[in-house]
Structure formats: C-alpha cells, structure tokens
Amino acid sequence: MEKRVKGSCTTILVGKKASIDGSTIISRNDDGHEALDPERLVVVNPAEQPRHYQSVISKVQVELPDNPLRYTSIPNSILKDGIWPAAGINSDNIAMSATETITTNSRVLGIDPFVAGGIGEEDLVTLVLPYIHSAKEGVTRLGALLEKYGTYEPNGIAFSDKDEIWWLETIGGHHWAAKRIPDDAYVVAPNRMNIDDFDFAAADTMASADLEEIIAKYHLNPDFDRVNLRHILGSSSIKDTVYNNPRAWYGQKYFTPEVEQDPMEQDLPFICHANRKISIEDVKFVLSSHFENTKYDVYGSGSESDKTLFRPIGINRNHDVHILQIRNDVPAEIAGIHWIAFGANTFNTVVPFYANVTDTPASYKDANGIFNLNHMYWLSCTTALLGDTDYDFYVDMRNSYELAAMSAYRKIENDTDAALNQHQADAPSYLAAANQQLADKAMELQTKLLGDMVIAGSEKMKLRYNLND
C-alpha cells in the first residue's frame, strides 16, 4: 500500500431544531498534516463519475452502479494520493462529510485488524454520495462497503438530509456503529471515537450485525452498567487530553457556556444541547477558533506553556472548512447550500454556494500547486499567513471584513432565493450565475482585506530608519 496520508479534522453537527432556521447542518475542518495542500470546489456530473473505481493508496477496486447522482465535491488539486473529495451535496439534497480521523484500541484491533487493501478517506465520498437518497441510506451503503472491503484506518463520517443527521464511526477493519443525532442537539467531534452511550435496540442506532456479540464475547466493556462505545472501542489516552478533548470542550463551552467542564476531561458528552439556536456564523466561529478568551489562546496573553498546551480547532493545517446546509424553508431546488472557505480559518469567510449546479466558478475550481492570487485557495492562505505575523494588529481588519463579506453573501443569497420562481425552468443555470456573483464578491473582498493588511502593515516593518524624513 502507498504511504498513508493522514488528516486531523474537527466536525460540528447541528440538528434541524437546534439550528436558527430549521436547517440540518454538517460541517468539518478538512485538516492535513502539512500546512498547504491546494483544494478545489467542483461538481461531479454523472458522466464524470467512474464506474470502475481504483484507489491510489490501497489499490482496492470497486465496481460502481450505473446510475450516479450529480454531486459537489472538494478534491485535492494535486492527485498523487487520489481524489480525496472530502465532502459534498448530491442532487437529491443529501450531504456527506468524510472523514474525521478517530481513535481505536489494541483490544479492538486484536479482534478485527485493519485491512491494508481496504477503503479509506481517499475513497468514501466517491463510493457513497452519488448513490444515496437519504442520510440513513448513506449509513447503510457505507456499512455494507466496510463489511465487504474493510478499511485501513478509523474514521467518523457524517450524513444529512433535510430531516436527519447520522454519524457513523468505523471500528477495526470491518465493523461500524452509527447514531442519529437528535433534532434538538449539536455535536462537536474531534479526532477520537466520539459516540458514547449506545443502545443496540434503539431506532436511532445502527451497527454491523455482530458488533454487540463481539463486545460480549471478547469482554470489551469496562463499565458495570452501561454500553459506552467510546469506553469500549475508542481511546482514553494522554494525547486525547491535549489534542482532542480540549477542542470538544471549547466548542461545548461556546454553545453551552453555563456547563462547567474541564478541557482535558475524557468523558465530555457526545450529544449536547445549546442555550440558543445555532447559526452558520456560530459554526464558522467555532471551526476557526483558537481558544479565544482563555489562557490557552495561541494569540493571547497566557504563558507560553499555556498557549502551546492544547491543539486549537483553527490551525495552519486547515485546508478547507465546509458547512453543508440542507434548508427546510425553501424549494428543493435551492435547499442545498455548500458553504466553503479555504486555508487557515483565521482570516477567511465561508461562501454559500448553491449545490444544484453543473459547474463551479473558476476562482474556486482551478487552483493547482502553483501560487496564484486569482485562486481563492492561495488568496486565503496568503491572508492567513500575513495575519499570523501580528494577529492583534490585523484582527480588527479581519472582523470588519468578515461582517461586510457575510452581509454581502447573505444579500445575494436572499435575492437569489426570492427570484427563483422566475427561473425554475432552468434552475441550475440561474444558480450557477448566482454562484459566480458570490465568487466574484468573495474574491473582491478577500483581495481588499489583503490589500488593507499590506498597506497598514508596511508602516510596521522592522526594516526602517527615521531621521526627521
């Protein structure tokens, strides 16, 4: 097998009764182990979807059905390690985000080892999203693929439709468990096994057929009176206390501030309830966060040991952030919104692209390995890099830009929604024009932010000398 490419992401899920407008929301930072790895937003039309699929990393070969749906996708620009589509929304308004790398333990792998020639993050969106018509069907299809082909890594995968969100976690080489997220709940999932309390007989859970039997047969449950899959199948390591748990803690602190918890706590809950309805802006803030207003903020005033103790959610290794929204208060033609931003999340904004299109704007589609400020990926990375040199100096510019940008995007979205009736005969073309307008505005405002930062920052350069001139 090729050298495995690893990622380390953060996921946020929001049920339709927990969101501000009744949408389901699944979202994730697609992080890597390197700072830069160009990505693109594309549409895969049915004619472009492979019928015979072969993975680059594991070489697994999978025959695919002949009736794929169209779907949005966020592939790598450089395909030496495969497509890595990350996430998307198909033409039936089903969303999928894959994957959140999670954890396991030796007891599990001693029973069901990983499969070197199996499927993994590189493959999952391509193998599943074009063929599903509900979130639950996504769980069923992926579960069957895992049982047949196995996997070489542990992952968490999110599915959503207009009504439901399901979260699936892989277990060992061939097993899995999934849970429906309650409509009034949210989830913050870092790189560990996240599902905790689990009832195999409940209507809101699914699992590989023999998982319950395996837990009993091999004496995997450490608890006396409960079935907690994180305890049974996951980890509780020192690394979790500094790398994973603090991210869940900060997200839960933001959405439910009245609940006092320790950032290193191993048993932070999986299912949570916010003290208010959650907006897209809330989700983006958490996915960009670096422990603001705590002593752990990398850009804050805490001690150096505090500032470097925990792994933040927003990090230089953010390659994209996607927020997949399926709306319930609009016609189906405009229900799917694929919000996206590229690069480190501290100095970017998510843009709400309509998913019901056959192509995407060039500035979001054509980035490659060559630095080019005409592509949003490179423009966003450049802005984040400059902002990192003096965060306190640049952050107010960022805040003003973010308000102006999100206001402009929402105005375009509201106007496009309102005029849909006049264009329903060719909705994809109408929405593609709106997406181009959104992309143009995003490039304009991101470029202005970078320009403002360069102009203001040039006065602070160390390479200067004053003699009354």
**pLDDT per residue rounded down to tens, the chain (469 residues):** 444 455 689 999 999 999 999 999 999 999 998 889 999 999 999 999 999 999 999 999 999 999 999 999 999 999 999 999 999 999 999 999 999 999 999 999 999 999 999 999 999 999 999 999 999 999 999 999 999 999 999 999 999 999 999 999 999 999 999 999 999 999 999 999 999 999 999 999 999 999 999 999 999 999 999 999 999 999 999 999 999 999 999 999 999 999 999 999 999 999 999 999 999 999 999 999 999 999 999 999 999 999 999 999 999 999 999 999 999 999 999 999 999 999 999 999 999 999 999 999 999 999 999 999 999 999 999 999 999 999 999 999 999 999 999 999 999 999 999 999 999 999 999 999 999 999 999 999 999 999 999 999 999 999 988 887 6
Torsion of CA 368, 371, 373, 378, to 10 degrees: 70
Whole-prediction pTM: 0.97
Domain locations in the chain? Answer: 8-370
The residues annotated as belonging to the active site are: 9
The DSSP element (H or E) to which 408 belongs, if any, is helix 391-418
The CA-atom distances, in angstroms, between 13 and each of 429, 444, 458 are 30, 31, 41
Omega prior to 24 cis, within 30 of 0: no
Q: Which residue has the tokens 């496009």?
A: 416
**CATH number for the segment(s) 8-370:** 3.60.60.10
CA dist 419 and 427 (Å) reads: 11
